[in-house]
């Protein structure tokens, strides 16, 4: 491991390395850290929309069925391209660099194809490269299985790679550079008055991501909290500080820090024989996350809309069942410490949605959030109204 405080891990997203010019700009920023005498490792995503392009290419080539093992091998090529190009840019600028695949950097993972879970990281080659003054550039989003197969870590998995690498190296911090300048109280595209947060605790940021906020992959934030890595999300294109995701201040105040929505929601209802456990097992084996299950005249599963075709295929294999789908719903959540412990939060949220005439199909809560399922065509309006009530009027909604 690196000595305490001597190293830093940086991560650059797809938009940050989307063109040769942006790769060179990223290289200059990386070099500024390395020239401070800090050991520097960098994790990169695929350039721009490369991953989407590769997915499209796979669908066009094999439209009836895509082999998920082969898909992982295909998608891994995107990060390999950007890592090699970034290492070239750094070296050309007088900053020695070496690129490594996830496997070469010591990442081992297992699980369903496309949803690998990290088992261990042994960054011996990364440590050796940085000991000789090189910047180590590592492909994000990918690892190898115990059998030596290439496996990817899910969309957004490059963030996870960066944080896991930072923990394995003992880095002082991990900085995520992307196309936004930090984490906001709501999506600024939906709520123009959303405010950038300077700091947010790991657990609240994890809840935001779980509730649909496009901040980072939820698993990445979970990893940062588990390993106590100070994490900063900042813009590749500005010099602003960004948002730090760190430990919580010790207090017992309850307030709403953010409003999030998840429009990638599909409700899968299976009627017929009792299949809840059997179906949950099958979805879990394929890495399909279920956010809620309702058993009333059948079993309704709330899942990621992007995984719906796979889920329907699984359901269709169950004998004696009929399957229906609703893709017209969204989850809208208010997030803050103690949110679900205070009935006034639920009351205020339901009151606001009733005022707008929005139908609430389901209400759930946790210690950190209250979530309502509403019709998707009311989602953006609901987010704006809730943000105004809980955050806009007072800065934060404070419960006595």
In three-state secondary structure terms, 229 is: coil
The domain locations on the chain are 7-179, 255-260+331-398, 262-326
CATH architecture label of 7-179: 3-Layer(aba) Sandwich (3.40)
Nearest-angstrom CA–CA distance, 238 and 235: 5
Structure confidence at residue 299 as a pLDDT band (50, 70, 90): confident
DSSP 266-326: EEEEEEES--HHHHHHHHHHTT--EEEEEESSSEEEEEEGGGHHHHHHHHHTSTTEEEEEE
Lowest-confidence pick of 15-29, 47-61, 383-397: 383-397
Structure confidence at residue 254 as a pLDDT band (50, 70, 90): low
Helix axes 157-169, 124-131, angle to 10 degrees: 70
Q: Tell whether domain 255-260+331-398 is in CATH 3.40.50.720.
A: no
CB 4 within 8 A of CB 172: yes
| Chain CA centroid to CA 315, Å | 27
323-333: per-residue pLDDT in tens?
Answer: 889 999 999 99
Q: What is the pTM of this model?
A: 0.82
CB 219 within 8 A of CB 163: no
**Residue 25, burial from CB neighbour count under 10 angstroms (0-12, 13-18, 19+):** middle
Structure tokens at 114: 């496309």
| pLDDT mean across residues, the chain | 90
372-382: per-residue pLDDT in tens?
Answer: 999 999 999 99
Q: What percent of the chain has pLDDT over 90?
A: 68
Q: What pLDDT score does 145 carry? A: 97
Whether pLDDT at 396 is above 70: no
Judge if 7-179 and 255-260+331-398 fold alike in CATH terms.
no
Give the closest residue to 177 by CA, choosing from 397, 384, 27, 339: 27
Nearest-angstrom CA–CA distance, 297 and 276: 12
Q: What pLDDT score does 400 carry? A: 43
CATH for the stretch 262-326:
3.30.70.120
Q: What pLDDT score does 66 carry? A: 80
Lowest-confidence pick of 74-83, 122-131, 168-177, 293-302: 293-302
Q: What pLDDT score does 6 carry? A: 87
Place of tokens 């190296």: 169
What's the mean pLDDT in 2-24?
A: 94
151-210: per-residue pLDDT in tens?
Answer: 999 988 999 999 999 999 999 999 999 988 999 999 999 999 999 999 998 889 999 998
CB 92 within 8 A of CB 129: no
Beta strand 231-235 with 173-178 is parallel
């Amino acid at each position: 491991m690196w000595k305490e405080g001597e190293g830093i891990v940086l991560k650059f997203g797809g938009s940050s390395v989307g063109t040769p010019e942006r790769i060179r700009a990223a290289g200059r920023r990386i070099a500024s850290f390395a020239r401070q005498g800090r050991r520097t490792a960098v994790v990169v995503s695929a350039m721009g929309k490369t991953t989407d392009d590769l997915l499209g290419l796979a669908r066009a080539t094999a439209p009836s069925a895509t082999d998920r093992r082969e898909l992982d091998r295909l998608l891994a090529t995107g990060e390999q391209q950007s890592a090699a190009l970034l290492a070239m840019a750094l070296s050309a600028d007088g900053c020695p660099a070496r690129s490594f695949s996830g496997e070469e950097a010591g990442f081992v993972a297992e699980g369903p194809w496309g949803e690998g879970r990290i088992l261990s990281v042994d960054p011996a080659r990364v440590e050796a490269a940085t000991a000789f003054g090189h910047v180590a550039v590592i492909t994000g989003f990918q690892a190898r299985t115990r059998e030596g197969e290439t496996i990817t870590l899910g969309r957004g998995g490059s963030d996870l790679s960066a944080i896991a690498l930072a923990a394995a190296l003992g880095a002082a911090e991990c900085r995520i550079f992307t196309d936004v300048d930090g984490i906001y109280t709501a999506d600024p595209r939906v709520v123009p008055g959303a405010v950038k947060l300077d700091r947010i605790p790991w657990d609240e940021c994890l809840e935001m991501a779980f509730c649909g906020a496009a901040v980072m992959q939820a698993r990445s934030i979970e990893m940062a909290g588990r390993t106590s890595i100070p994490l900063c999300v900042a813009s590749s294109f500005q010099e602003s500080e960004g948002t730090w995701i760190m430990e919580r201040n010790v207090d017992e105040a309850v307030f709403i820090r953010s409003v999030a929505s998840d429009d990638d929601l599909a409700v899968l209802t299976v009627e017929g024989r009792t299949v809840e456990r059997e179906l949950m097992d099958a979805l879990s084996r394929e890495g399909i996350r279920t956010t809620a299950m309702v058993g009333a005249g059948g079993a309704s599963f709330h899942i990621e809309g992007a995984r719906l075709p796979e889920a329907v295929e699984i359901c269709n294999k169950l004998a004696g069942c009929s399957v229906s789908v609703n893709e017209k719903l969204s989850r809208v959540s208010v997030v803050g410490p103690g949110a679900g412990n205070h009935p006034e939060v639920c009351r205020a949220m339901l009151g606001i949605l009733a005022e707008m005439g929005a139908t609430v199909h389901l209400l759930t809560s946790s210690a950190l959030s209250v979530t309502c399922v509403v019709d998707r065509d009311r989602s953006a309006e609901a987010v704006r109204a809730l943000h105004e009530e809980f955050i806009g009027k007072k800065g934060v909604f404070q419960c006595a």
